[in-house]
Chains A and B, each alone.
Chain A
Amino acid sequence: MTMRIWAILVFTVMGVLPAVVQAQEPLRIEITDGVIEPMPFAAPAFVPEGGGSGQLAADIASVVAADLAGTGLFREIDKAAFISTVSSFSAPVQYADWKAINAQALITGAVSVQGEKVTVKFRVYDVFAGQELGEGLQLAGTRAGWRRMAHKVADTVYSRITGEGGYFDSRVVFVSEQGPKNARKKRLAIMDYDGANVQFLTDSSAIVLAPRFSPTGDRVLYTSYETGFPRIYVLDVASVGRRVLQSRDNTTSFAPRFSPDGQKVVYSQESGGNTDIFLMDINSGSEQRLTSAPSIETSPSFSPDGSRIVFESDRSGSPQLYVMSAGGGEPQRISSGSGSYGTPVWSPRGDMVAFTKQSKGRFHIGVMRTDGSGEKLLTASFLEEGPTWSPNGRVIMFTRETQGASGQSSLYSVDISGRNLKRVKTEGGASDPSWSPLQN
């Protein structure tokens, strides 16, 4: 009996050992070079379910496709190339047909309308994996809000494919500019991120500057010269009501920004020829000085966690970027390249700082890590400034002004990789954009 056990053990071990010892050494290779190109996707017109939804279904699918293609990360395949047609939302996907036209992602959807109520449902497919990405979703809204519904669909699709949040269901507040350069009229305006649905928040009776969204997107800080001196206002976006933030006499306040909790405002205040950074509690009006230096400190911006502030200072002789604690204290310089740096803005993700750089007679929009490393200039032109981050920290919008007496300001956006630089459509001139967070 003992021998039998022995035999069993021996043969078991001998049977397993070779498999372990002789497990095949796979061929190992390392891929270091890929391609950076838009991912082709197919977005057939959404299926209208019920009467009266045909045009809306097509419009929604069109906006979804435009959102995705507008990122530069995706490329819409011409519908004329489609082999399959999607006539039913629940019909099985003909993966082979979509593979044949190299569609790597497929978006299908359906729209139904009942009175003013609109329902959109959609699915996203990874064609080459032959499976659905996530589960189908359904959105309900009003006919007037169909664009927002389309943006939300695009946000979901974008998120499922890239792995990061979208930014399509967001808005931008900016300064709308009309007229020649020497007599330009400015007023606050708000629009969808893609330039649609423009609404004006102020009239053009006074110069307005530097609007900044609150962290929740319901309020806007801006600077107005309607009293002849720059003063900071808080405007409620929904009601367009506003109030001025109290400031000390004989001082000039500008460049305001909300703290991440939306309860405080950090801004620059000029007094007696010196400019420093202050922090004010919006409700109580109490003020706290954060810097105290004979140099000019301005353009403060909170880190997303509220623990630090990046700002611009010329204490070293030329405008450079510095980071200090949210409570003040000795700042640390983070910019180190040649030229001057200004208008820093902390990324919503907290890992980068966007800035304007002037070097060798040209302006640039760039990004760097919060410790100053990894500086990367994304654009270059005669004049550009005022970067603002998309809610997902992937895109930067900024102002670019063309040269000459007839030069005009426009809004541009660029991916933080430096690709997909494009102009944002606006009627007339536009400057000083501030991107809102994603809407609820």
Chain B
Amino acid sequence: MNTGQYISLAGHAGLICILLLGGRWNSEPLPFDVTSVSVVSTEAYEAAMNAASTAAPSVETDVETPQTPTETPAETTTPAEDTTPTAEVPDVPQPEPDDAPQIDTSEPAPTEVEPAPSEIVPPSENLALLVPERSVRPRIKPVERIAPEPVATPAEPDVQPADTPEVDRVEDAPSETPAEPTDAAQPEEATTEIDPEAKDDSFAAPATSVRPKTRPRRAAATEPAETPSTEDAVAGALAEALGESSEEPTPAAPSGPPLTGGEREGLKLAVSRCWNLGALSSEAMAVTIIVAMDMTRDGKPVVPSIKLLSSSGGSDAAANKAYSAARRAIIRCGASGYDLPDEKFEQWRSIEMKFNPESMR
């Protein structure tokens, strides 16, 4: 499904937020840098001075920076050493133990440096905010947990959407497909939950196949639906956010070229053939309704998804009868699948049909 896109967006949005709000989050790490630099800089300065006198070449930048500090060490310490010094400080003392045993003694600095990493741990808490994004990817396996369950169920609802209600009553149907008994067995496990999950799965599969050009790896994005199981509050929030998006029946925006006029007309014509107004009351014939439905890739309407969106021009009772006629038309003529281009499935995965009988009155 297109939840991959949602997750992608969520990830990007998260990155954007990090960029936007980075100032807040960086405010804590910065002081650490400053403190460490302030501690190191003096000693490092000396070490650098010593190093400059003895073994200069290790890093040229180190060599150069001390040159300027020699004149104004105190001034330049804080600004210039923000970036490089912290990383270099631990390097500097280690390569020169022989030359400066005193330095070793004075290397409480290194011991201070070690606390620095331990102090860096708090930043790691901040980094934990980012962890979910990175930790999501490793959790590809949870998807495999999810997939097997829905995959089994969707195959049937998609194939026999109209039969699902029958199965309960029509067990004797001789000519009915053998899939019915499986329906009868499955509801025991999760009759109500299987359907929506099945939809998600059915959406997820095509989403990955349609989107490979731009987001080939996003099939794994369905994983986050699993991540809610983690106890981490941040991960939970992420899971909630993603969970909501994955529960929505409407997938992402359609991609690819739109249906041609001929393809649209073909669909209209196909439904029109079964839209029988003959048995409607005159009031119901005055009602215009909009019906929404989801489609399977083989062009069949998902019967449980057919619903009345809105109506105008009559009472609720008349609208219901008009809806019944429209629903009947959709199911009847869609029983063998409407002739719709498979490669444009994203375009007709979800359809809203307006039934306007004005010209039929």
Residues of B within 8 A of A76 (CB): none
CB of B265 to closest CB in A, whole Å: 9
CB of B20 to closest CB in A, whole Å: 9
A18 to B1, CA, bound (A): 14
Query: Which of B25, B279, B281 meets A74, CB within 8 Å?
Result: B279
Task: Judge whether A394 is part of the interface by a CB distance below 8 angstroms.
Answer: yes
Residues of B within 8 A of A36 (CB): 276-278, 360
Residues of A within 8 A of B350 (CB): 24, 26-27
Task: Judge whether A243 is part of the interface by a CB distance below 8 angstroms.
Answer: no
B219-268: which have CB < 8 Å to A?
233-234, 237-238, 240-242, 244-245, 248, 250-254, 259, 264, 267-268
Task: Judge whether A19 is part of the interface by a CB distance below 8 angstroms.
Answer: yes
B276 touches A35 (CB 8 A): yes
Task: Judge whether B181 is part of the interface by a CB distance below 8 angstroms.
Answer: no
Task: Judge whether B358 is part of the interface by a CB distance below 8 angstroms.
Answer: yes
Residues of A within 8 A of B282 (CB): 164, 394, 416-417
B354 touches A96 (CB 8 A): no
Task: Judge whether B72 is part of the interface by a CB distance below 8 angstroms.
Answer: no
A12 touches B349 (CB 8 A): no
A10 to B25, CA, bound (A): 13
B278 touches A92 (CB 8 A): no
Residue of B nearest to A71 (CB): B279
* Given A19-B6, A29-B351, A31-B353: A162 and B279 interface contact (C-beta under 8 Å): yes
A22 touches B2 (CB 8 A): yes
A33 touches B354 (CB 8 A): no
B129 touches A33 (CB 8 A): no
A94 touches B331 (CB 8 A): no
Query: Which of B25, B234, B271, B353 meets A11, CB within 8 Å?
Result: B234
A31 touches B9 (CB 8 A): no
Residue of A nearest to B264 (CB): A29
B275 touches A35 (CB 8 A): yes
B169 touches A92 (CB 8 A): yes
CB of A254 to closest CB in B, whole Å: 32
A4-42: which have CB < 8 Å to B?
4, 6-19, 22-39
Residue of A nearest to B180 (CB): A96
* Given A4-B234, A32-B356: A16 and B241 interface contact (C-beta under 8 Å): yes
In the complex, per-residue mask of A389-414: 1 if CB is within 8 Å of any chain B CB, else 0: 00000100000000000000000000
Residues of B within 8 A of A11 (CB): 10, 14, 132, 234, 237-238, 241
Task: Judge whether B192 is part of the interface by a CB distance below 8 angstroms.
Answer: no
Task: Judge whether B359 is part of the interface by a CB distance below 8 angstroms.
Answer: yes
CB of A366 to closest CB in B, whole Å: 15
* Given A3-B129, A12-B241: A96 and B166 interface contact (C-beta under 8 Å): yes
Residues of A within 8 A of B264 (CB): 27, 29
Query: Which of B126, B245, B273, B355 meets A18, CB within 8 Å?
Result: B245
Residue of B nearest to A394 (CB): B282
A12 touches B6 (CB 8 A): no
B268 touches A24 (CB 8 A): no
Residue of A nearest to B347 (CB): A27
Task: Judge whether A131 is part of the interface by a CB distance below 8 angstroms.
Answer: yes
CB of B27 to closest CB in A, whole Å: 10
Per the CB 8 Å criterion, the residue count for chain B at the interface is 86
Residues of B within 8 A of A104 (CB): 328, 332
A18 to B276, CA, bound (A): 40
Task: Judge whether A129 is part of the interface by a CB distance below 8 angstroms.
Answer: yes
CB of A68 to closest CB in B, whole Å: 9
A24 to B248, CA, bound (A): 10
B288-343: which have CB < 8 Å to A?
292, 317-318, 320-321, 324, 326-329, 331-332, 335
A83 to B244, CA, bound (A): 47
A94 to B350, CA, bound (A): 30
Query: Which of B126, B241, B242, B281 meets A162, CB within 8 Å?
Result: B281
Residues of B within 8 A of A33 (CB): 272, 275, 359-360
Residue of A nearest to B240 (CB): A12
Residues of A within 8 A of B276 (CB): 34-37, 39
CB of A325 to closest CB in B, whole Å: 27
Segment from B59-67, B87-95, B109-117, B170-178 that makes contact with A: B170-178
A31 to B357, CA, bound (A): 8
Query: Which of A3, A24, A32, A416 meets B253, CB within 8 Å?
Result: A24
CB of A426 to closest CB in B, whole Å: 27
CB of B108 to closest CB in A, whole Å: 32
Residues of B within 8 A of A34 (CB): 272, 275-277, 329, 355, 357, 360
Residue of A nearest to B12 (CB): A14
Residues of B within 8 A of A16 (CB): 241, 244-245
CB of B323 to closest CB in A, whole Å: 10
Task: Judge whether B33 is part of the interface by a CB distance below 8 angstroms.
Answer: no
* Given A15-B10, A29-B353: A128 and B170 interface contact (C-beta under 8 Å): no
CB of A77 to closest CB in B, whole Å: 14
A129 to B328, CA, bound (A): 7
* Given A24-B252, A25-B253, A92-B170: A14 and B360 interface contact (C-beta under 8 Å): no
Task: Judge whether B51 is part of the interface by a CB distance below 8 angstroms.
Answer: no
Residues of B within 8 A of A162 (CB): 279-281, 284, 321
Q: Which residues of A contact B (CB under 8 A)?
A: 3-4, 6-19, 22-39, 72-74, 83, 92-97, 99-100, 102, 104, 126, 128-131, 161-164, 394, 416-417
Known: A19-B6, A27-B264, A31-B275. 6 other contacts (CB 8 A): A12-B237, A34-B360, A35-B272, A72-B278, A73-B279, A96-B166
Enumerate the 7 nearest inter-chain pairs by beta-carbon distance, A residue then B residue, closest first: A15-B241, A34-B275, A163-B321, A14-B13, A164-B281, A19-B245, A18-B9
